[in-house]
Every structure is written in C-alpha cells, then in structure tokens.
Amino acid sequence: MRKGIIYYHVGESLESYFLIKSVTKGVASNGKPFLTIILSDHTGEIEAKLWSCSPEDEATFVSKSIVHIIGDVSEYRGKNQLKIKSIRPTTALDHVKVADFVRSAPLDPEEMLSQINQFIFDISNANIQRITRHLVKKHEKMFLESPAATKNHHEFVSGLAYHVVSMLELAKSIAALYPSLDTDLLYAGVILHDLGKVRELSGPIDTSYTIEGKLLGHISIIVTEIVETANELGIESEEVLLLQHLVLSHHSKGEWGSPKAPLIREAEILHMIDNIDAKMNMMDRALERVQPGEFSERVRALDNRSFYKPSFHEKPLDV
C-alpha cells in the first residue's frame, strides 16, 4: 500500500494520487484567482494551493474527483501544506477508485451485517426482533456505509456499523455478568440507537448534517420510525414504548441531547456501552502515533485531555 499522506514530513517530495475532498476559490494579492484544495487519502488529508488557476482548472479539479499530483511537503502556520509542482485529472487508465482514498472500518460490511443479524436472531422477544430486523433491512445499504459521526469518533466509511458491532460484543459480555439485564432490549437498543444517523448525516464522504438532521436529530428520526414500523407490522405492545425509550434516553441527559434520562436498566447500560466504545475509539486514535513516554495531542471531545502512553508500552508503527 502507498505511504499515506499523514506519514510525510516537511521537506519530502511525493508523487501520488489523491481524492479532492473540497475546493475553495480565492483571489490572491496579485489579483489572480487561486484554489485551496483539500486532498485526502486513506490515512488523512493535506491542504494544497493551486496558484493562478485557469477557468479550466476550476472546472476540472472539483470535489470528489481523483487527481495525480507531484509536489513537495512544506509547512505553513504549524501545519503541513503541499506545494503542487504538477497536477492532472485521472482517467480509467489510472486504475484508481474513490473507495481507495477513504478511511473505512477494519471489518468488511458484509461481515458486519452478518454479525448484527446473528444478534437479531438471538433476540427471543418476537416484537422486539421484528421491529429491529425491519428497520435494519429498511436502511441496510446506508447503515453499512454511514460513518457514526462527522468527527470525534467512528467518523469513517462504515463507522456506524462498526460502532454497533463493537457495542454488541460489549453488551453481550456485560449482560453475561449481570443476569438482571434483558438482552433482547439491550441488543435492540444497541442496533437502533444511532440508526437515525442514516438520515441525519449526508453520507460517507465529506460528511455533513442534513436539514432534517439539524432540525430533528437522529434520536427523534428513529423514534418516529420505530412507531411507523410497529404500525406497519401491527404491533401494539409495551415493547414499542421501551424501544423508543431506549433510543430517546441513550445520551443520558438533557444537556447531552436526550429528552428523557434512562429509566430502565438496559437504557442506562446502553448509554455506558456507547460511551466506552466511543472513548476507546478516540483514545486509540489519539495515541496511535504517539511514542512511549509521551503525550498525545489534546482531544477536544474528551474534555480537551492529552493522553499519556506509558514508557513501557510499544512504539507505534511508522508506515
């Protein structure tokens, strides 16, 4: 695999393919237009400037296209920047595809779907099982592609499904230790809790919030779909209410976005499992390139903490 862009140091030259994540046009102090291009590969991104660009350049180098670039890595205001020596659009002959340039979950979507379906199969309460299965089916394609967030944690292709699979494993081992937990409710809660993100987020690449995402949020979206599904399946029972409650309360507090605090055991545990998986993902990301005996960068979503890697832990791989 090619050396990822985040592994280049200031002063190095490179010749490589990149996916254009976004492009902004500016006018330089000499009055000429230029493009600020965010280039990305499977490891991360870098900013590049294309000075004195022509109208053709503007039309060619657009978001989500793949380009071939020769350039040098320099530094501007403390961040790496790519000085472009040559840039060209790619064709079929380059044999490159978008999927090669995005970060994605370490598991295959089909594999994750199969694991999730196994958990659904293990739900013994028929009402809970049918509603959960129906909603997963309904959103299957997007569910397998969507990130779990625009930033912070699991913000990559298939991040949502990967987050759910990890949480299901956690749920299973915790429930094994506390027999009072109802695994039917807990598994369904895990599978449905963030499913509204398939409508809240714009999709796997250059993810942003949709209008309904901003005005309603993923919690309200899926709460309503649970009721619609129950209506459709002719289910009228307390399970419908409890599934709604599990989703509604999974952020735990009003100030974190949940209009109701968890009022059943499984809702409280769902919140904590969600937290553990998100935090492990963020801490692992923060520490992955840190040397033993050193501190990571600050992580805003974790109270701006900077994490320490013990001096007797292993060194990171330098790809």
Smallest gap from Cβ 297 to its own copies, in A, equals 13
Q: Which is nearer to its own copies, 145 or 249 (CB)?
A: 249
Smallest gap from Cβ 106 to its own copies, in A, equals 12
> CA-based diameter of the chain, in Å?
71
Smallest gap from Cβ 227 to its own copies, in A, equals 5
Smallest gap from Cβ 247 to its own copies, in A, equals 10
CB neighbour list of residue 145: distance below 8 Å, 6 or more residues apart: 109, 157, 158, 203, 204
Q: Which is nearer to its own copies, 27 or 92 (CB)?
A: 27
Across 198-226, b (16+ Cβ under 10 Å) vs e yields bbbbeebbbbeeeeebeebbbbbbbbebb
Q: Which is nearer to its own copies, 207 or 244 (CB)?
A: 244
**Spatial distance between the Cα atoms of 286 and 303, rounded to a whole number of angstroms:** 13
What is the CB neighbour count within 10 angstroms for residue 228? 13
Q: Which is nearer to its own copies, 158 or 249 (CB)?
A: 249
DSSP string, 39-79: EE-SS-EEEEEE-S--HHHHHHS-TT-EEEEEEEEEEETTE
**Spatial distance between the Cα atoms of 182 and 191, rounded to a whole number of angstroms:** 15
Q: By the 8 A CB rule, do 40 and 19 touch?
A: yes
Q: Which is nearer to its own copies, 19 or 69 (CB)?
A: 69
Handedness of CA 88, 89, 93, 98 (dihedral sign): positive
Closest of 219, 212, 277 to residue 246, by C-alpha:
219
Smallest gap from Cβ 307 to its own copies, in A, equals 6
Smallest gap from Cβ 283 to its own copies, in A, equals 5
Q: Which is nearer to its own copies, 19 or 131 (CB)?
A: 131
Q: Where are the alpha helices (DSSP H) in the chain?
A: 55-60, 109-122, 126-138, 140-145, 159-177, 183-192, 197-200, 211-215, 217-233, 238-248, 265-287
Q: Which is nearer to its own copies, 59 or 211 (CB)?
A: 211
Smallest gap from Cβ 103 to its own copies, in A, equals 18
- Cα angle 301, 302, 306 (rounded to 5 degrees) comes to 115
The residue with tokens 């976005």 is 257
Q: Which is nearer to its own copies, 196 or 204 (CB)?
A: 196
Smallest gap from Cβ 81 to its own copies, in A, equals 9
Q: Which is nearer to its own copies, 25 or 141 (CB)?
A: 25
What is the CB neighbour count within 10 angstroms for residue 156? 20
Smallest gap from Cβ 111 to its own copies, in A, equals 16
